[in-house]
Amino acid sequence: MERILVVDDDRDIVRLVQSYLEKAGYQILTAYDGETALRILKDEKPQLLVLDLMLPDRDGWDVARLVRSDPKLAATPIIMLTARVEDNDKIIGLEIGADDYITKPFNPREVVARVRALIRRTQLQQDLQPPLILQVGNLLLDIGKRELSYGENLIELTPSEFELLKVLMHNPGFVITRDELADKALGYGSESIGRTLDSHIKNLRRKIDPPDSEQSFIQTIHGIGYRLRESLC
């Protein structure tokens, strides 16, 4: 049974999310502040973290940063759950390393669906598979080690960024629709995630594009989706 840590200073929200996730078959751990959440993460190592941004001590951003910087916790999927609706807040959360973002008020069934999709994707990633290396231009993606290098430089990716780039690098030069990309990489259709897909792509571009280039490795095909260029002119 997968264990999920739900962190929110609003105990009613924690009880609501806990109730729906337990009915869906998950074991739920709970915390109401950042320090307790970090202790539980280190001691229990849950399979997924549902994290509120506004906490009484360490905020959700700080908790997410610490999770992503800890080698033993860095692969933990994170869903941000917050009343903040500004695009900048969402982008910051995704840049820090959140895999998904749900705003309050929310439908608890949507939380269950997002959790299922993220856990399913994580489990598929952990299945035994032969080492595989993808190369497009100077980008080298080691599937076994889950590492991306550009020339001699290693580039850190969040789990969602890694999966998105893997799909794109499997199909260099070909257009992939938003729905196909979201389904293969994130586990659900793009219409379910709003601008989350676009934010992940923006973060990827910031990490992999040469600073002096006027082009991007990931090309937007308006009204359709995205394409990974095989090289930059």
Amino acid at 81: L
The pLDDT tens digits for 113-135 are 999 988 888 777 665 455 588 89
In this prediction, residue 82 has a pLDDT band, given cuts at 50, 70 and 90, of confident
Q: Where are the domains of the chain?
A: 3-126, 133-228
Per-residue pLDDT, 160: 87
133-228, what's its fold? Answer: Arc Repressor Mutant, subunit A (1.10.10)
Higher pLDDT, 130 or 67: 67
> What's the pLDDT tens digit per position in 14-26?
999 999 999 999 9
Nearest 5°: the CA angle 103, 178, 106 is: 15
> What pLDDT sits at residue 103?
86
pLDDT at residue 96, as a whole number: 76
Using alpha carbons, list the distances in angstroms from residue 66 to 34, 74, 162, 205. 11, 8, 19, 24
Q: Is the pLDDT of residue 193 over 70?
A: no
pLDDT at 194 over 80: no
Kindly report the length of the chain: 233
Res 44 pLDDT > 80: yes
pLDDT at 109: 93
Beta bridge partners of 215: none
Q: What residues pair up with 5 in beta bridges, in sequence order?
A: 29, 49
pTM for the model: 0.62
Closest of 188, 216, 190, 213 to residue 203, by C-alpha = 216
pLDDT recorded at residue 67: 92
Which whole number is the average pLDDT over 33-58? 93
**Could you tell me which residue, 179 or 124, shows the higher pLDDT?**
179
Q: Between the CA of residue 72 and those of 58, 63, 120, 153, 220, what are the distances in Å?
A: 20, 14, 20, 23, 35
The pLDDT of residue 205: 93
pLDDT the model gives residue 59: 87
Mean per-residue pLDDT of the chain: 86
pLDDT at 216 over 60: yes
Residue 92 has pLDDT above 80, yes or no: no
Could you give the percent of the chain with pLDDT greater than 90?
45
Residue 72: alpha-carbon gap to chain centroid: 17
pLDDT for the residue 84: 67
Confidence at residue 43, expressed as pLDDT on a 0 to 100 scale: 94
Q: How confident is the model at residue 176 (pLDDT cuts 50, 70, 90)?
A: very high
Measured CA to CA, the distance from residue 91 to residue 70 in angstroms comes to: 22
CATH topology of domain 3-126: Rossmann fold (3.40.50)
